[in-house]
Every structure is written in C-alpha cells, then in structure tokens.
Amino acid sequence: LQTNEFNITDSLMADVYDVKRIMIPAGISYLELSVKDLNSATINSFSSKDTLNAMDAVTSGLFISNIQLIDFVVPTGTENRFSKGGFDILPYHGNYYASDQGKLTFYTEINNASKTLNTGGKYLLNCYLENANTGLQLEDFFVRKRMKAENYTVVLSEFPIANLGPGTYNFVVEV
C-alpha cells in the first residue's frame, strides 16, 4: 500500500485507502495478498488467498462486473488511482451499515449487453437486498431501472436502506 504516514493517536478512526488494478488473463488465477507494517516494532502481518475467475470480455456474453460499495464519489477531474468509469470512487470499508447511513451507494459495470440483447435493445436492471439466510428478496428494498443495451454501461446508483432492520443481507444486481 502506498499511503501517507499518520500517527495512530491522531487518526484513531482513519481508514487506509489504496487501489491496485492488475490485468490478468482470462481463466483461473490465484491471488495471494500479504500486508505488513514496515514501521511497526512488532511482526504483525496479514495474509489472504483467493481464486479469481477472469472472463474474456471480448468473447463472453453479457456479464456484470464485481459490485463495488462506495463511501464517497465525485466525477473525475484529473485521472488518478481512484478513477473508474469517469468517477473518483472511495471504496466503502467493511460490510456493516449503521442505521443512520440511510443509503448504500454502489458502482458496477454491465458488459456486452449489446451482444446478447442487440444494440439499443431494452432490458431491466434489478438491484435488491435479499435475506442472506433464506435467499428471499426483501419487498421494500429494490431499485429497478430500464436500460438500453450497449457494449459497456457504468451503473452508479444509490440504494435506500433507511428503514432496514438489523440482519445479514446480500446485495444483488441482475439483468
């Protein structure tokens, strides 16, 4: 991570942000991430491994990119490491939303809709919350948008969660 140094006592609640985008070939890849504080007197570190399945965007049909939850977003003025799809996006850390947040903001991309639905064809984009334990859609927590089929479409949207009670939920985006 390339971050500014900060004093933990001055920045107790500060999050550390960095973005790395790495092009990988289509198919299965393996990722191992190790993080260590080089300035720490202790030898604390964190490691994580994951399997990635990258699609070939040229030959694939319609697909939705990974959903990115957002803390803050503005239109890109000058291209930087947080720029994506014409916006500077500060990712949302964690998976907990406090009851006073009121909304969930997200970014995703719909790719190759024109291949599957013919250029200019219409389709419905559904975004909703479902109960993580039952898989059932929550009636009051959905957004639907009429879309026009293109090769590449940025979806930047807010999702109301002001009246959402405590629980474990999945956020779903489907075409």
Q: What is the pLDDT of residues 94-139, one digit of tens each?
A: 778 877 888 889 999 999 999 988 888 999 999 999 999 999 999 8
Edge-to-edge strand list for the sheet holding 137-148: 137-148, 122-131, 169-174
Virtual CA dihedral for 110, 113, 119, 125, nearest 10 degrees? -70
Rounded to two decimals, what is the model's pTM? Answer: 0.78
